[in-house]
A and B are shown apart, each in its own frame.
Chain A
Amino acid sequence: MGEFKSNNDDFFERLARKTDFNDAPRAPSTLKSRIYTKLLQRQNESGPLMSLSEVQAGLCVFEKIIALAPIGGNFKRVNPCSVCHARVLAEHVEHAPIYWRNCPYVGFQKR
């Protein structure tokens, strides 16, 4: 159903056409980092994560050590990121100085 249009509408419609605010900004890496941490926390709350030995994608150096270590299976399901300095930096600093290969927090800074 059409709406009554006044001169008032004209000004705002022209303004909206000229300013679409569509500058498509990227999400800050700190936000991506915090979201990832939160998602892993939630996943962990409902049961253990997939074992690092089963994860097929690239592991960071710390994850690799845990995956290869001759330790109990349950330990391979923990989230080492929760105690990692890279996470803390990435959650608070944009372009954080972290360079670990295959670290998701480093990945968020690049994309």
Chain B
Amino acid sequence: MDASSKESSSWNGSQTERDDLSRVSELQFAAAVLAKDRKATAEFVARYADGIYAYVRRQLIPRMDLVDDVVQDVFLAALHNLNQFQGTSSLRSWLLGIARHKVQDCYRRLFREPDPLGAEGPDVSWLASNEPTIEESMDRADLEKKVRSILDQLPEAYSLALIWRYWEKRSAREIAEATGKTEKAIERILARARAQFKRKWNHG
């Protein structure tokens, strides 16, 4: 069913109803946004921005400067395509699907930038000859701070490659497909990224 074909008048954005999501069909809610009910649009942002923001932020660490723009793009794309929302999944899942695509677009753009060491750059694996260790005594907050700080210092493609590979558990092939690079190129980037990360880990 097309959301736009629904009557929007049955959506009432009073506080009581806002808090009781089960009483408000998401299709009717989407229809109210499509009918340009400004209060429904405000509720659309209020209800879903936190979830989308948390997702995008997690995907784009350490590039926090990109997060706001990507989240805004997600909402603009959602508004543009809201008439295609079928209600087969929750509105939140539908928005997260858009967010996933936007993050991938962002990754693709960043990977398109030239490899900082060149395609045939030197092998830097020797930089990490001392195998790093994760101190058990370090608490999670400190550990996260250290990881973020190192990721922040790496060339963009390197930090994104590491996050995608290890934090998002994507294979080199999946990253290659998503970024339009060859699997070999991704493995080369990962090798250099690991080496630089470890060097900073040991000496940072």
On chain A, the residues within 8 Å of B14 by CB distance are 57-58
With A26-B50, A50-B37 as given contacts, are A58 and B13 in contact (CB-CB < 8 Å)?
yes
On chain B, the residues within 8 Å of A16 by CB distance are 166-167, 169
Q: Are B39 and A27 in contact (CB under 8 A)?
A: no
Number of A-B residue pairs, CB cutoff 8 Å, is 137
The size class of the interface chain A forms with chain B is: 35 or more
Partner of B162, one of A12, A25, A58, A104: A12
Taken together as a complex, chains A and B put the C-alpha atoms of A18 and B141 apart, in Å, by 10
Interface of B is mostly: helix
On chain A, the residues within 8 Å of B128 by CB distance are 8
**Is there a chain B Cβ closer than 8 Å to A21's Cβ?**
yes
On chain A, the residues within 8 Å of B11 by CB distance are 56
Q: Are B143 and A19 in contact (CB under 8 A)?
A: yes
Q: Are A43 and B57 in contact (CB under 8 A)?
A: no
Partner of A104, one of B39, B80, B147: B39
Q: Are A11 and B79 in contact (CB under 8 A)?
A: no
**Is there a chain B Cβ closer than 8 Å to A53's Cβ?**
no
On chain A, the residues within 8 Å of B197 by CB distance are 12
Partner of A32, one of B49, B54, B79: B49
Binding site for A on B (CB under 8 A): 8-9, 11-15, 35-46, 49-50, 52-54, 57-58, 61, 68, 71-72, 75-76, 79-80, 128, 131-132, 134, 140, 143-144, 147-148, 162, 165-167, 169, 171-173, 191, 194, 197-198
- 6 cross-chain CB contacts under 8 A: A18-B134, A21-B58, A26-B50, A39-B41, A81-B38, A108-B45
